[in-house]
């Protein structure tokens, strides 16, 4: 096979969970596990593994094979948002793959995601499982909207004591509603948050739409069930 055929075969193997093929191809072609793939728009194999919507068959095992073959857990993607594989695992709420990447040295504080750090992405896209895992593994929690969304009431009290801006209060209240965090929402309302405010990136109202909405993992499962005809 020529390079493009080899790359296409690897992409197919990753997306179908063909671990034997992933292992064989990366063994046969030195550097294949770490290089940008032309057939995948410049994404590395780890980016393919974590690409939206995520949850490819045996993706954690695939990631381990690629890492063992030299893949860089901190490789950057292409385009206007050069995210790392951990950014992408965070954005699809795939804890299992995120764990593999973190174990391999993925940077918890990598910047320049579509929202910011992996934790920014996880919370911003309603990926609560990965968000909590990132915190468990040592990600910094230093933003009011982080602690509000995750219901970290002790830390919330500390940040409220620093007299945050009205904008920060309003955004944190919206995120508390998005995360289903009643006590955090109550504390922010007492601190002066406007329950009618909506962050510039939000298309839904906190009082109705966000509270009733689903999270990223449930949306992914529902999409899979529908596409599978189940």
Domains of the chain (ranges; CATH) run 141-230 (1.25.40.20)
Q: Tokens 């309603």 correspond to what residue?
A: 126
Per-residue pLDDT at 80:
67
pTM comes to: 0.89
Taking each helix axis as running N to C, give the angle between helix 182-190 and helix 153-160, from 0 to 180 degrees, rounded to the nearest 10. 10
| Segments of the chain with pLDDT less than 70 | 1, 80-81, 200-214, 225, 230
Distance of CA 5 to the CA centre of its chain: 30
Task: Please write the tens of the pLDDT for every residue from 81-105.
Answer: 689 999 999 999 999 999 999 999 9
Per-residue pLDDT at 139:
97
**Proportion of the chain above pLDDT 90, given as a percent:** 72
| Per-residue exposure over 3-33, b if at least 16 CB sit within 10 Å of its own CB, e if not | eeebbbbbbebbeeebbeebbebbeebeebb
CB 60, CB 97: distance < 8 Å: yes
CB 49, CB 91: distance < 8 Å: no
**Cα 225 from Cα 229, distance rounded (Å):** 6
**Cα 227 from Cα 223, distance rounded (Å):** 6
Q: Which residues contact 131 (CB under 8 A, 6 or more apart)?
A: 90, 119, 122, 123, 149, 150
Q: What is the mean pLDDT of the chain?
A: 90
- Token pair for 178: 């998005």
Q: Which residues contact 230 (CB under 8 A, 6 or more apart)?
A: none
**Cα 188 from Cα 88, distance rounded (Å):** 30
């Amino acid at each position: 096979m020529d390079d493009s055929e080899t790359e296409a075969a690897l992409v197919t193997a990753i997306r179908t969970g063909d671990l034997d093929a992933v292992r064989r191809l990366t063994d046969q072609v030195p550097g294949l596990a770490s290089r940008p793939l032309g057939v995948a728009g410049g994404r590395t194999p780890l980016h393919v593994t974590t690409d939206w919507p995520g949850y490819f068959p045996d993706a954690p095992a695939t990631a381990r094979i690629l890492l063992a073959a030299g893949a860089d857990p901190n490789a950057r993607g292409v385009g206007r948002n050069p995210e790392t594989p951990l950014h992408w695992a965070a954005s699809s709420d795939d804890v299992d793959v995120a764990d593999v990447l973190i174990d391999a040295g993925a940077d918890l504080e990598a910047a320049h995601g579509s929202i910011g750090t992996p934790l920014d992405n996880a919370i911003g896209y309603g990926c609560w499982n990965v968000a909590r895992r990132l915190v468990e593994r040592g990600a910094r929690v230093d933003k009011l909207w982080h602690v509000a969304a995750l219901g970290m009431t002790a830390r919330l009290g500390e940040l409220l004591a620093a007299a945050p801006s009205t904008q920060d209060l309003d955004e944190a209240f919206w995120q508390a509603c998005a995360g289903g965090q009643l006590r955090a929402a109550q504390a922010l309302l007492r601190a002066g948050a406007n329950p009618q405010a909506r962050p510039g990136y939000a298309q839904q109202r906190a009082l109705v739409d966000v509270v009733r909405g689903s999270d990223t993992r449930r949306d992914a499962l529902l999409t899979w069930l529908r596409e599978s005809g189940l």
